[in-house]
Amino acid sequence: VVMRSLAVPFVWGVLLAASAMPAGAAETDVDRFLGGFLEGCRMGQEFNAFHQSLADKYTPGGNPSGVLVLSRTLAPLVGRYRVAQKDGYTDVRVEFGGTFRGVPVEALGFSLGNGNGIVAWSVEFAADPGTVRAAFGPAVIARSKRLLKKIDDMDFGFSTELDLTKRPPRLWCDTSC
């Protein structure tokens, strides 16, 4: 399978920062792009390429003039980027449109370790916590139960969680090691 991608230069992101999310973005289904959240924090090929391009560009020692990789279908869903250096990791928040399991997406968040094994990402929703819980709660609970049954055989702490206490509510994966 050949993935058609669009290199999205930083300038493109800055230009989008001045504009609103494109018309129709909320109707675009991004289930395939984000589906790994519910499969044990697996990254699909396209999500992984985007994640890696963010790390390559924004973490210390990265290439600030690097390009962000995203398909032609998903690139129009991207809005503003916010990048902040934290203690031990780089925090990147990307405004992102579309719907995941029928729930409107507001942004994607990435915690990119600065060479220390921190790797986490999240989907922030433009919906109330009850809607997010109804769409994702059963899948997250089922996945957690499967992980607990296998915990003795694992040497990592991958987790998928719903955080309904923060605004916006979010689904997150932590694969830090």
- Burial class from Cβ neighbours inside 10 Å (0-12, 13-18, 19+) for residue 93 reads middle
Q: What is the mean pLDDT of residues 157-162?
A: 74
Q: What is the mean pLDDT of residues 84-99?
A: 95
* Confidence category of residue 14, pLDDT binned at 50, 70, 90: very low
CA dihedral sign of residues 60, 64, 66, 70: positive
pLDDT for 16 equals 36
Q: What is the mean pLDDT of residues 63-91?
A: 94
Hunting for tokens 């390009």 — which residue is that?
67
**Contacts with 10 (C-beta within 8 Å, 6 or more apart), sequence order:** 57, 64, 65, 66, 67, 68
Q: Do the beta carbons of residue 66 and residue 50 sit within 8 Å?
A: no
pLDDT for 154 equals 52
Backbone φ and ψ for 12, nearest 5 degrees, come out as: -60, -45
Task: Please write the tens of the pLDDT for every residue from 136-159.
Answer: 888 777 666 555 555 455 555 567
User: Has residue 122 got a pLDDT over 80?
Assistant: yes
User: Has residue 111 got a pLDDT over 80?
Assistant: yes
Whether the model clears a pTM of 0.75, i.e. scores above it, the answer is yes
Q: Do the beta carbons of residue 20 and residue 36 sit within 8 Å?
A: no
> Above pLDDT 70, what percent of the chain?
75
